[in-house]
A and B are shown apart, each in its own frame.
Chain A
Amino acid sequence: AQSVTQLGSHVSVSEGALVLLRCNYSSSVPPYLFWYVQYPNQGLQLLLKYTSAATLVKGINGFEAEFKKSETSFHLTKPSAHMSDAAEYFCAVSEPGGYNKLIFGAGTRLAVHP
């Protein structure tokens, strides 16, 4: 069975500071990994995804994530936080291939203060 653990349900950073949101996965097969963002009262928007190509994945809004098999991690980073980055972030895992379900972590709420 696959699962995702997001360390820290709440993260607070200053505007301009580094953003680091942690995600560790458990999977019996090489997984596909995703980060989604959810703004208040909205659906989930894909930030980036890892599908067994380059281990460093760049996404939208300046975010990137690195797949580290030895650490079973897929942490999300952004060099400089903006106020508009305040939202909830979800890490998710699926088995590779076309017909597989997406399993989400519990989410991390990011607050950005001036």
Chain B
Amino acid sequence: DAGVIQSPRHEVTEMGQEVTLRCKPISGHNSLFWYRQTMMRGLELLIYFNNNVPIDDSGMPEDRFSAKMPNASFSTLKIQPSEPRDSAVYFCASRPLDGGYTFGSGTRLTVV
């Protein structure tokens, strides 16, 4: 089991550019979560999916953020256009129906 796989590990982009973060959950896990971690705000839940369906996106900061889960093995978080205040570590996590959450190693995004 390779765990939750996130790519890229690090991303540096210029303000205004589109950024796409990727996540491969653990096979068989029913739920997938996207979190953002910053010094100021800690760990914030952005959105989560159950069985590929978005359940709660109330944490998505604004319309520049969007997330998709086209199938059970892949999810993306897109920021368009990116801004410096989006700089953070973005974590993906997955869990089975009756189990604990497993986190990926995160993507460190820097928008300059």
Contact = CB atoms under 8 A, between A and B. Distances in A.
Interface residues of A, number: 18
Nearest to A9: B42
Interface in B40-90: 42-43, 45, 48, 50, 55-56
Given A49-B100, A99-B31, A99-B50, A43 B56 contact: no
Interface in A34-69: 34, 36, 42-46, 49
A102 B50 contact: no
Contact of A104 (B43, B98, B106): B43
Nearest to A44: B103
A44 B98 contact: no
Contacts, number: 45
Contacts of B50: 99
Contact of B33 (A90, A102, A106): A102
A99 B56 CA distance: 11
A103 interface: yes
Given A103-B45, A107-B42, A43 B103 contact: yes
Interface residues of B, number: 23
B30 A102 contact: no
A106 B42 contact: yes
A101 B33 contact: yes
Nearest to A48: B100
Interface string B30-41: 110101000000
Contacts of B98: 98
B25 interface: no
A46 B95 CA distance: 12
B97 interface: yes
Interface string A66-109: 00000000000000000000000010000000110111111100
Interface of B: 4, 30-31, 33, 35, 42-43, 45, 48, 50, 55-56, 91, 93, 97-98, 100-106
